[in-house]
């Protein structure tokens, strides 16, 4: 050990080069990737620009942004969005966040300005558009339309064809299902495929794959060709060979299948299969993870053992990236995708047919962040017994890591248990500076893939039904005890944190168990009954499977709602909330704050003006993280290094 590293400081008080501000300084989350000829496009979410989503075009090694600096390309469909833009044949189609109207921009004309394709609705932002694809001649864009009307019970979701000529003509193609997604036109523009589903199903439960004839902005001969009973079909795409591809979990795992015209699209053939997941849960639109070439070769991302790999056409797996999203085919037989690992931020990567990779757009270098790889160790994927001991759950364990500091002999680090959102989701399998913020200060972190998480097959994904608030909490408790019993962490200094559904897991863990010493909830759910009656359409019936139908299962909702059992709460807590959250409204946080105050428990409450479900603005991201560290230090008995914000602990 060198002289600097020989310095001994208690866990939690280690000085770290990774500040909360460095997490967002110059940061840009890379989202969707699209290929148009030789051009590569991607979207960037920029915290320092108030979370604005910008579009970047790459051509011959040069980048530029075709839209002005005020453009914010985001859609509000399903509230979570995704699929707000598309590029084809030198034409950009996109939705602007402010008014949700569709626009078209001709990129071949130097002085072109966006053309409005949809009219201003009577209700501001009342007509929203997402997940569009233009026909081969650009006459029509087929997309999802979400209709919000002031006097309606819930918005309507439709498939529509929008005229590309600026006449603002919109033809309704499919109207009736509760949800529609992924409208995909064949290469010649004569056939349209899409998926649809109805309450109370979510897209990872049961969906249907439909097909119809498309001509001059109209749909005919629509028919269901697959799905409908205990099968989740996602990510339909037309192959260059005229076949229809999609991912389905009909044999437990989300694997890739093909339907062909030879049998009138009535039977599916397995193309890429195995004990791995190709799809991810469809919380947002347009996040495809496979690409098919004219010769039938396939590039795809696969998830197994808590991480991703890139599968090449010859079946070999590349381990270089632990997170792979948005896979698109290139004209030279290769692919473009967003790739990351545990020591690098997401990058736009181009790979050829042989597997040779080129970084088109890299993440921030570690030197800019003033950290080294030693601050960012790869986590260990662990499996542990849970529940009554007959089941197992999974997690990613990150021990403290800072090459410049050591802890006093015999001391064990505090542990932060992270419960991911969803709950149908997974711990992120890539570098998370928010995690390194803790581990570089001497706090161990475990990111839990509790029962109900994705990446482990359909049965595991549905194991949370109808045990949300029980199984996930048991798993968070079990992993904390597992690590403490193994002598890896201090069993008296266990913390838990989570956002959204993970925030509910936090609140339930602190209410119904006495394992944790402190917790942090970001936009978490305190009253399940309120959530069942006061949330957006996409998740309005989500709890039917996770808990039970409302109001028939009202007693179960009440029994599992932390707000109804605050007499059992004895743990300090910090609560963080966005003022404009339509998924988990602020009253959820305020109910819990009132209960904490009534019991006289130490707590802090931060309400961020202008934030929705998840924090996008740089200053708010910084304040939230620093406040959590300050609060945890005060409750767990360590003093964080550096200047911390003044936090009002009540």
- Range in 24-28, 181-185, 217-221, 541-545 with the lowest mean pLDDT: 24-28
What pLDDT is attached to residue 588? Answer: 85
DSSP H or E run through 574: strand 573-578
Q: What is the pLDDT of residue 531?
A: 85
Does residue 593 belong to any structural domain of this protein?
Answer: yes
252 is a domain residue:
no
- 585 — pLDDT class (breaks 50, 70, 90): confident
* Per-residue confidence (pLDDT) for residue 6, from 0 to 100: 59
Among 521, 516, 514, 518, residue whose Cα is nearest residue 631 = 518
Assess whether pLDDT exceeds 50 at residue 150. Answer: yes
* Average pLDDT rounded to a whole number, residues 613-621: 91
Report pLDDT digits (tens) over 513-555.
999 999 999 999 899 998 898 889 999 999 999 999 999 999 9
Rounded Cα distance between 163 and 143, Å, is: 11
In a domain, 295, yes or no: no
Q: How far apart are CA 277 and CA 425, in angstroms?
A: 13
What are the tens digits of pLDDT across the range 365-396?
A: 998 888 999 999 899 999 999 999 999 999 99
Q: Which long-range contacts (CB under 8 A, 24 or more apart) does 178-182 make?
A: 178/537, 179/203, 179/538, 180/144, 181/131, 181/144, 181/282, 181/285, 182/131, 182/234, 182/235, 182/236, 182/285, 182/286
435-445 average pLDDT score: 97
Residue 116: CB atoms within 10 A of its CB come to 14
* Residue 635 structure tokens: 């409750």
Distance CA 547, CA 360 (A): 45
Q: What is the reported pLDDT for 535?
A: 85
Considering only 56-60, 159-163, 586-590, which range has the smallest mean pLDDT?
586-590
Average pLDDT score, the chain: 95
In this prediction the pTM is 0.95
CA separation, residue 304 to residues 120, 345, 439, 650 (Å):
46, 20, 25, 44
Residue indicated by tokens 């890139």: 310
In a domain, 265, yes or no: no
Taking residues 566-580, what's their average pLDDT?
Answer: 94
Number of domains present in the structure of the chain: 1
Domain residues for the domain of 430 are 370-636
Overall average pLDDT of the 485-500 stretch: 97
**CA pair distance 282, 422, nearest whole angstrom:** 11
Q: Give the pLDDT score at 463.
A: 98
The reported pLDDT for the residue numbered 5 is 56
Tell me how far apart the alpha carbons of residues 419 and 503 are, in angstroms, rounded to a whole number: 7
Query: Does residue 108 sit within a domain?
Result: no
Task: Please check the confidence at residue 644 and state whether its pLDDT lies above 50.
Answer: yes
The rounded percent of the chain whose pLDDT value lies above 90 is 88
Q: Where are the beta strands (DSSP E) in 186-229?
A: 191-197, 208-215, 218-227
The pLDDT of residue 2 is: 40
Q: Which of 101, 23, 132, 137 is nearest to 437 (CA)?
A: 23
User: In this structure, how many other beta carbons lie within 10 angstroms of the beta carbon of residue 29?
Assistant: 16
Can you tell me the distance from the alpha carbon of 320 to that of 378, in angstroms, rounded to the nearest whole number? 12
Cβ neighbour number for residue 650 with a 10 Å cutoff: 11
The 10s digit of each residue's pLDDT in 332-368 is: 999 999 999 999 999 999 999 889 999 999 999 998 8
Q: Are residues 571 and 592 in contact, defined by beta-carbon separation less than 8 angstroms?
A: no
Q: Is residue 238 part of a domain?
A: no
Range 507-526 burial, b when 16+ CB lie within 10 A, else e = bbbbbbbebbbbbbbbbbbb
The reported pLDDT for the residue numbered 3 is: 42
Q: In this predicted structure, what is the pLDDT of residue 27?
A: 86
Residue 329, pLDDT > 90, answer yes
Residue-wise burial string across 322-337, b where 16 or more C-beta atoms lie within 10 A, e elsewhere: bbbbbbbbbeeebbbb
Mean pLDDT of 620-636: 97
Q: In this model, does residue 1 exceed pLDDT 50?
A: no
The domain that contains 393 carries what CATH number? 3.40.50.1820
Q: Closest Cα to residue 453, out of 505, 522, 521?
A: 505
Does residue 554 fall inside a structural domain? Answer: yes
Using the structure block, give the residue that is written with the tokens 């932002």. Answer: 125
pLDDT in tens, 258-267: 999 988 999 9
* Rounded distance between C-alpha atoms, residue 617 and residue 611, angstroms: 8
523: in domain: yes
């Amino acid at each position: 050990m060198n002289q600097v590293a020989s310095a001994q400081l208690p866990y939690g008080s280690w000085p770290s080069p990774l500040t909360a501000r460095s997490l967002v300084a110059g940061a840009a989350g890379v989202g969707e990737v699209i290929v148009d000829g030789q051009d590569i496009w991607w979207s960037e979410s920029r915290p320092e620009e108030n979370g604005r989503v910008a579009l970047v075009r790459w051509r011959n090694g040069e980048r530029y942004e075709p839209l002005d600096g005020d453009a914010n390309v985001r859609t509000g469909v399903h509230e979570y969005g995704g699929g707000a833009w598309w590029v084809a044949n030198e034409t950009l189609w996109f939705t602007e966040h402010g008014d949700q109207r569709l626009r078209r921009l001709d990129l071949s004309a130097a002085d072109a300005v966006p053309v409005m394709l949809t009219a201003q609705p009577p209700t501001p932002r009342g007509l929203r558009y997402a997940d569009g694809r233009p026909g081969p001649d650009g006459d029509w864009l087929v997309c999802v339309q979400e209709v919000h009307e002031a006097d309606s019970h819930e918005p309507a979701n439709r498939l529509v064809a929008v005229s590309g000529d600026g006449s603002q003509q919109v033809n309704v193609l499919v109207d009736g299902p509760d949800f529609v997604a992924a409208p995909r036109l064949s290469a010649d523009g004569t056939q349209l495929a899409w998926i649809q589903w109805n309450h109370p199903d979510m897209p990872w439960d049961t969906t249907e794959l439909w097909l119809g004839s498309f001509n001059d902005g109209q749909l005919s001969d629509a028919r269901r060709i697959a799905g409908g009973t205990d099968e989740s079909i996602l990510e339909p795409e037309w192959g260059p060979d005229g076949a229809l591809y999609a991912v389905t979990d009909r044999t437990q795992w989300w694997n890739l299948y093909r339907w062909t015209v030879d049998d009138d699209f009535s039977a599916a053939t397995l193309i890429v299969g195995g004990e791995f997941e190709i799809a991810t849960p469809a919380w947002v639109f347009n996040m495809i993870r496979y690409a098919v070439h004219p010769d039938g070769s396939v590039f795809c991302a696969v998830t197994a053992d808590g991480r991703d790999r890139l599968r090449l056409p010859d079946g070999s797996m590349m381990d270089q990236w632990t997170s792979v999203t948005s896979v698109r085919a290139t004209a030279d037989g290769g692919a473009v995708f967003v790739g990351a690992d545990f020591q690098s931020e997401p990058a736009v990567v181009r790979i050829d047919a042989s597997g040779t990779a080129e970084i088109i757009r890299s993440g921030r270098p570690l030197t800019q962040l003033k950290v080294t790889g030693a601050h960012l160790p790869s986590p260990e994927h662990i499996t542990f017994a849970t529940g009554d001991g007959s089941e197992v759950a999974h997690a990613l364990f990150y021990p403290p890591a800072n090459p410049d500091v050591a802890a006093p002999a015999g001391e064990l680090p505090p542990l932060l248990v992270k419960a991911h959102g969803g709950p149908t989701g997974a711990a992120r399998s890539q570098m998370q500076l928010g995690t390194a913020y803790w581990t570089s200060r001497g706090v161990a972190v475990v990111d839990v893939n509790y029962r109900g998480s994705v990446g482990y097959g359909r049965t595991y994904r549905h194991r949370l039904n109808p045990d949300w608030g029980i199984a996930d909490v048991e798993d968070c408790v079990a992993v904390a005890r597992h690590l403490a019993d193994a002598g890896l962490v201090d069993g008296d200094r266990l913390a838990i944190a989570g956002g959204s559904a993970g925030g509910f897991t936090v609140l339930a863990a602190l209410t119904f168990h006495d394992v944790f010493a402190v917790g942090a909830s970001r936009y978490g759910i305190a009253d399940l009954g309120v959530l069942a009656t006061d949330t957006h359409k996409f998740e309005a019936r989500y709890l039917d499977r996770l808990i039970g139908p409302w109001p028939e299962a009202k007693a179960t909702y009440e029994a599992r709602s932390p707000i109804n059992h605050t007499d059992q709460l004895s743990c300090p807590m910090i609560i963080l909330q966005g003022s404009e959250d339509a998924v988990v409204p602020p009253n959820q946080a305020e109910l819990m704050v009132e209960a904490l105050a009534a019991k006289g428990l130490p707590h802090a409450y931060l309400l961020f003006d202008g934030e929705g479900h998840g924090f996008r603005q740089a200053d708010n991201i910084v304040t939230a993280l620093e406040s959590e560290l300050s609060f945890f230090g005060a409750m767990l008995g360590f003093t964080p290094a550096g200047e911390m914000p003044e936090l009002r602990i009540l």
